[in-house]
Every structure is written in C-alpha cells, then in structure tokens.
C-alpha cells in the first residue's frame, strides 16, 4: 500500500486554513474520458485516496488507465493521547488534500461507460464527499 506523502515541504506544520467556495482549477475532465467530481468542500486524506484507487483498479481488473488528480500536500498535526492542554502544536500525523466542490478527483480511460460509472461509484463510497460522474464533452 503506497500512501501518498510529499517528498519535500517548505513548512513541517501548517495552519488549518479555510476551504470554501467552488473549484476554479482542476474542474474539467482533462486526461481521461470519464471523471469523478466532488460536490462538497472537504479534506480527503491519503488513505482515502489510496482506498478509492484500489477499488477502481480492482473493479476494472487492471484494464484501462486511472489518473489521480488530487495530491495530499497539507500536513495535519495530532497530539498524543493523555497530553494536557498547552505545550505547543502536535507532530504531523497524516496528509490531506483540500478538495473544493467541483474538483475532478479521479479520471478513467480505455474502459466502457458502464465499467467507468460503476468503478467511480464504488470509489466514491470510499471518500468523505458526495460525488458525481462526469463524461468528457468532446469525446
């Protein structure tokens, strides 16, 4: 299981920040013929991305091509159990991708529409956001 982790970072710990609005980038099917679009703003962690990828790969039986359009760059810190309040910020525990509504998260190609629809539906169940199936317009 290859969990997605950034190779280098400018800062080890970052602030939580906001994640509102709709996506202005990464909001169309660019590489494949079918896509899975987020309908909510949420943080998707690297384990959820990997689980969705495995589900799609298993369903299409390693046929076709999969693109993962999101990457977890943002570290999320966590303090150990039974630690009192104060004493600074915790250590990075996992990484998340901040996903906005309208972001295309996964894309598929070289499969039938029925296969793509079912594979992306199954992958959507692994994610913390509501999703929508997309088809590329010109193809």
Cβ contacts of 19 within 8 Å, gap of 6 or more: 41, 42, 43, 98, 99, 100
pLDDT for 1 beyond 70: no
Strand intervals (E) in the chain: 34-38, 42-45, 65-68, 74-78, 91-99, 104-109, 131-135
- Mean pLDDT, the chain, rounded, equals 93
Which whole number is the average pLDDT over 93-114? 95
pLDDT in tens, 38-62: 999 999 999 999 999 999 999 999 7
CA 121 vs CA 36, 51, 134: distances in Å: 8, 13, 11
pLDDT band at 137 (very low <50, low <70, confident <90, very high): confident
pLDDT at 2: 75
Alpha carbons 9 and 29: distance in angstroms, whole number: 28
Alpha carbons 56 and 137: distance in angstroms, whole number: 22
* Torsional class of 77: left (φ above 0), alpha (ψ -120 to 50), beta (otherwise): beta
pLDDT band at 139 (very low <50, low <70, confident <90, very high): low
pLDDT for 96 beyond 80: yes
pLDDT for 138 beyond 60: yes
CATH 3.90.1170.10 fits 43-78+89-135, yes or no: yes
DSSP conformational letter for 62: T
């Amino acid at each position: 299981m290859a969990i997605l982790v950034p190779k280098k970072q400018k800062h080890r710990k970052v602030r939580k920040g906001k994640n509102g609005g709709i996506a202005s980038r990464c909001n169309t099917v660019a590489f494949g013929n079918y896509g899975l679009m987020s309908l909510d703003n949420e943080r998707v962690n690297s384990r959820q991305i990997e689980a969705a990828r495995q589900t799609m790969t298993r369903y299409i039986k390693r046929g076709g091509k999969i693109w993962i359009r999101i990457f977890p760059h943002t570290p999320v810190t966590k303090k150990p159990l039974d630690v009192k309040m104060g004493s600074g910020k915790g250590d990075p525990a996992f990484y998340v991708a901040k996903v906005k509504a309208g972001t295309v998260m996964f894309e598929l190609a070289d499969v039938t529409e029925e296969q793509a629809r079912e594979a992306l539906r199954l992958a959507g169940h692994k994610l913390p956001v509501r999703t929508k199936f997309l088809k590329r317009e010109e193809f």
